[in-house]
Chain A
Amino acid sequence: MLEIFTWLADWLTWTVLGMDPSRRAGMAVHFFIEDTSKILVLLLVMIYVIGLARASLDLERVRSFLAQRHRGAGYLFGAGFGAVTPFCSCSSIPLFLGFTSAGIPIGVTMAFLLTSPVINEVAVILLWSLLGWKFTVSYVLVGMMVGILGGMLLDRMHAERWLQGFAARAYLQADPATAVEPLPERTTLSLSQRHQFAWHEAREILGRIWKWVLIGIGIGAVLHGFVPEGWFARQFGTGQWWSVPAAVLAGLPLYSNATGVIPVLESLLNKGLPLGTTLAFCMSIVAASIPEFTLLKQVMRWRLLAVLFLILLSSFVLVGWIFNAIAPWLEIA
């Protein structure tokens, strides 16, 4: 079904624009048209369809569910809900406070917050269509593992010591009842209400991310057209252990969401960058963002931010090494 977009790009690039398929610029433009049209259409359709299903999921209910779980299961559910619950990154502060003031362990809340930027429906759809199901499943599993283990580690370190004063007080005086008591009544949504929610969501998300998608595809297109085949493989082969930490560091100052990164990821893989190295690079761009961290400063002290940062960086390096080792099984690149 997705061949339509290849045909569209064939027609526009070679026939309408009259570009030469053997030239670099032609290849770049073809890649850009094919990926832009494919990704934007897929996103619009899939966000809408998922929105229909998700219309009845709300944060209050998620919080109440998490507050009633045992800590051990909490990490798993925290990371799971982080993956499926939509929220804008500028809500991470009130969300953090809302969870902690309901007595949900810091680690469970952090599992939620760490997983959230890495896994979302948009990233999963894109990965699946561009790189196949094995890669997608591994990506989701690894993303959740980072969240779960990060959360457990933070609890083990008693991270609540390093919260800002008012947030620590809210956590210590937490009353689990707040999470349960003011639940809005669960109303069954009509189909038209679901449609309204889904349509609003599709427009809102697409309106927010289309620039990132275009920039990502643009970079991907340039790589696709102008970097020689196998160039990355020769520069950063799997044998070099340092290429993974180097990729994580290189991704740090860059900031994008998962949507913008995945087209770049596709191009990097096609040009022979090892799988684990690519993945580590992309997770570092998506999850460890400086703007996000400055926001968190409002509720966390430097000590905790530094710890969080180290946990993220070292887990990305581990992810990179592991994926480089299992890449042959995944049959990509």
Chain B
Amino acid sequence: MKIEVLGSGCRNCLRAAERIESTLRVMQVEAHVEKVSDPGVMLAHRVMRTPAVVIDGKLVHSGSVPDESTIRHWFQS
């Protein structure tokens, strides 16, 4: 599974990436979290607010640091 956190590198984006990583550790899910700051990628996903989260090429979240229950929800199926 490939997880991308889109953002300019501001504090909220870093926090979003950290929270996803720590939640994944707790859930014992194997995945790679990558921080992406290329505006071209944001344009391609039509993201207007960061941080945004893309899982396997699909946009699942944008505009805030997701809370833990939201993150768990993405990986539960």
Contact = CB atoms under 8 A, between A and B. Distances in A.
Interface of A: 59-60, 63, 87-88, 90-91, 93-95, 97-99, 101, 166-167, 170, 178, 182, 295, 298-299
Interface of B: 6-10, 12-13, 39-40, 42-43, 46-50, 52, 63
A contact patch SS: helix
A90 B50 contact: yes
Among B7, B12, B13, B39, residue most surrounded by chain A Cβ atoms (within 10 Å) = B39
Contacts of B9: 90
B39 A90 contact: no
Contacts of A59: 48-49, 63
A144 B49 CA distance: 23
A166 B40 contact: yes
Contacts of A99: 48
B40 A91 contact: no
Residue picked from B43, B46, B52, most chain A C-beta under 10 Å? B43
A41 B48 CA distance: 32
B8 A95 contact: no
A88 B10 contact: yes
A98 B47 contact: yes
Contact of B8 (A87, A93, A178): A93
A293 to B, nearest CB: 13
A97 B10 contact: no
A295 B43 contact: no
B10 A98 contact: no
B19 to A, nearest CB: 14
A95 B43 contact: no
A97 B42 contact: yes
Contacts of A295: 8
A90 B48 contact: no
B42 A88 contact: no
Contacts of A178: 46
* Residue with the highest number of chain B CB atoms closer than 10 Å, among A63, A91, A99, A182: A91
6 contacts: A88-B12, A90-B7, A90-B12, A97-B39, A166-B40, A178-B46
B39 A94 contact: yes
A94 B50 contact: yes
B73 to A, nearest CB: 17
Contacts of B48: 59-60, 63, 91, 94-95, 97-99
A94 B42 contact: yes
A304 to B, nearest CB: 15
B7 to A, nearest CB: 7
Nearest to A295: B8
A208 to B, nearest CB: 9
A201 B5 CA distance: 22
A90 B13 contact: yes
B3 to A, nearest CB: 18
Nearest to B62: A94
Contacts of A87: 49
A60 B6 CA distance: 18
Nearest to B38: A298
A63 B39 CA distance: 18
A98 B40 contact: no
A88 B65 CA distance: 12
A90 B42 contact: no
A93 B42 contact: yes
Most central of A59, A94, A295 by chain B CB within 10 Å: A94
Contacts of A60: 48
Contacts of B50: 88, 90-91, 94
Nearest to B67: A200
A170 B9 CA distance: 23
The 6 closest A-B pairs by CB, nearest first: A90-B10, A98-B48, A94-B42, A90-B8, A97-B43, A91-B49
